[in-house]
Structure 1
Amino acid sequence: MSLYRDEGVVLRTQKLGEADRIITILTKRTGKVRGVAKGIRRTTSRFGARLEPFTHVDLQLHAGRSLDVITQAETLHPYGQAIVRDYARYTAGMAMLETADRLAAAEKEPALRLFLLLVGGLRTLAEGAHEPRLVLDAFLLRSLAVAGYAPALTACARCGGEAVQAFAIAAGGAVCGACRPPGAAVPAPGTLELMNALLRGDWATADGSEPRQRSECSGFVARYLQWHLEHGIRSLRHVERDWPLRRAEPDAAPAYGAHG
């Protein structure tokens, strides 16, 4: 087996046998990796809390046929320490990890931009400078953009016109009155501006947004994400989900995880 080293963020873990765990990690250079941490469930394990979700770690692994073997793990940033103490941060963080896992569908395909987005999102979430729901929506929008699914927000997704009036998920985002399909949602004033601010990293605008705009934004982002993933992000169902929509799209997936 060949030995390699990489840094990554732990996405999830699952038990293997009596003492081992399979650790799924999004790494900086290799992409998504599944590795076995032998003996990690024993109290004497040298890995301990280093391989828990949210942790940014430096790893050494042996490449295997189906699963790699984690031989060393050193904590770079223990983001989970701050995130797990707050329910809003925790649920937002879990949705971020699950989304990264889903978007990096193939193992060992480099996903540097997604990795950097995840590290930045978890850092921002742990620092607590912004509302967790805003941090989550910013991560989701930017991750969709990296995957090639960025929604149209400032011009009509169909004709390119600037007089947008509605948000149509199946059409690709904002649409003008002439291109608006039946059932398209009509956002409150400022909602699309908030979505664009989150996509661009304009936190001054995002932090100054109103509760109605934030709720509506979360609904649009969740529905748009799940439309492109075709299956629900289970963790989203635990995130705050009270948003008023003037009119919901009948063809959109119900927001915040309706799929079992």
Structure 2
Amino acid sequence: MTLYRDEGIVLRTQKLGEADRIVTVLTRRTGRIRAAAKGVRKTKSRFGARLEPFTHVDLQLYERRSLDLITQAETLRPYGERLVTDYPRYTAGTAMLETAEKLTAEEGEPALRQFLLLVGGLRTLAERGHDPRLVLDAFLLRSLSVAGWAPAIDECCGCGDRGGLRGFAIAAGGAVCARCRRPGAATPAPPTFALMLALLRGDWEYADGSEPRHRVECSGLVAAYLQWHLEHGIRSLRHVEPEDGPSRPTGMDFTTSDTGGDPGRDTPDTTDRERV
């Protein structure tokens, strides 16, 4: 067996047997990994709360044929302590964890930029300097950009025209001008486009001063665009999406499917029961 170390953010946990867990971690060097933690659900576990979602940890692992084995875990930053007591920030953080896992589809593939985005997003949430939904939307837009799916915001995705943007077509790739607009495209207000661009570029002065109706419209577009390109819903987004209102773009469905439960917490798992 090969021993190695890496740091990462715990994305979620799954119950395994009577006292063990499978821990999914987005790491700095290795990318997304799933590893077994022996006896972690026992009250006297030496890991304690170090392997809970939102925790930035330094891990020591043994490489094995199936699941690697966590042998040591040290907490670097316990972001969960600052988030679990604030429901809007907790739900925004949960959506970040789920999105980060979905956007790192290949297990064991390096994903440094996605890891750094997640660390930065959780840190910004914990510092409570900005509205949690703005932080989430900024994280989603930047994560899509890292994955190669950045939406066109300041130019038409059809012809490249930078003026006269009149719609947002998810399937086409983002903003569209009057000539390229097709039936079914949303018609966001110009300040909504400006807000999306500010979040993508990190212009927090503009984002923090934006109007609530444009934030609602922006959130709906970002959520719909993300889930279109992932080809399935982000379950945790249903807890943070804005209520139906006049600022929601018409003609589009932003709801997500949900089979119940919190994707960040323990969920039953039997696929690796025989391999650990």
Q: What's the TM-score, normalizing by structure 1?
A: 0.96
Runs of 4+ in 1 over 3 A off after TM superposition: none
- What letter corresponds to residue 93 of structure 1 in structure 2? G
**Does structure 2 conserve the Cα–Cα contact (< 8 Å) formed by 1:236 and 1:257?**
yes
**Does structure 2 conserve the Cα–Cα contact (< 8 Å) formed by 1:186 and 1:245?**
no
**Does structure 1 conserve the Cα–Cα contact (< 8 Å) formed by 2:219 and 2:241?**
no
**Does structure 2 conserve the Cα–Cα contact (< 8 Å) formed by 1:11 and 1:25?**
yes
* Bigger relative contact order, structure 1 or 2 (CA pairs below 8 A, ≥6 apart): 2
Q: Give the drift of 1:183.
A: 1.6
**Does structure 2 conserve the Cα–Cα contact (< 8 Å) formed by 1:239 and 1:256?**
no
Note the residue ranges of structure 2 that are not aligned, 5 or more in a row: 260-276
- What letter corresponds to residue 183 of structure 1 in structure 2? G
Note the residue ranges of structure 1 that are not aligned, 5 or more in a row: none
Residue 247 of structure 1: aligned partner: 250
Residue 233 of structure 1: aligned partner: 234
Residue 258 of structure 1: aligned partner: 257
Residue 4 of structure 1: aligned partner: 4
Q: Hey, what's the Cα distance between the residues in 2 that align with 1:125 and 1:35?
A: 27
Q: Give the drift of 1:256.
A: 4.3
**Does structure 2 conserve the Cα–Cα contact (< 8 Å) formed by 1:158 and 1:171?**
yes
Q: Which residues of 2 match residues 1-260 of structure 1 at below 5 A?
A: 1-162=1-162, 163-242=164-243, 243=245, 244-249=247-252, 254-258=253-257, 260=259
- What letter corresponds to residue 254 of structure 2 in structure 1? A
Q: What's the TM-score, normalizing by structure 2?
A: 0.91
Q: Give the drift of 1:71.
A: 0.4
Q: Give the drift of 1:246.
A: 4.5
Q: Percent identity?
A: 71
Deviation digits for residues 2-38 of structure 1 (CA, Å, limit 9, x no counterpart): 0000000000001111111000000000000101110
Deviation digits for residues 95-118 of structure 1 (CA, Å, limit 9, x no counterpart): 000000111111100000000000
Aligned residues: 256
Q: CA RMSD in A?
A: 1.0
- What letter corresponds to residue 255 of structure 1 in structure 2? F
Deviation digits for residues 207-227 of structure 1 (CA, Å, limit 9, x no counterpart): 000000000000000000000
SS at match of 2:195: helix
SS at match of 1:49: coil
SS at match of 2:50: helix
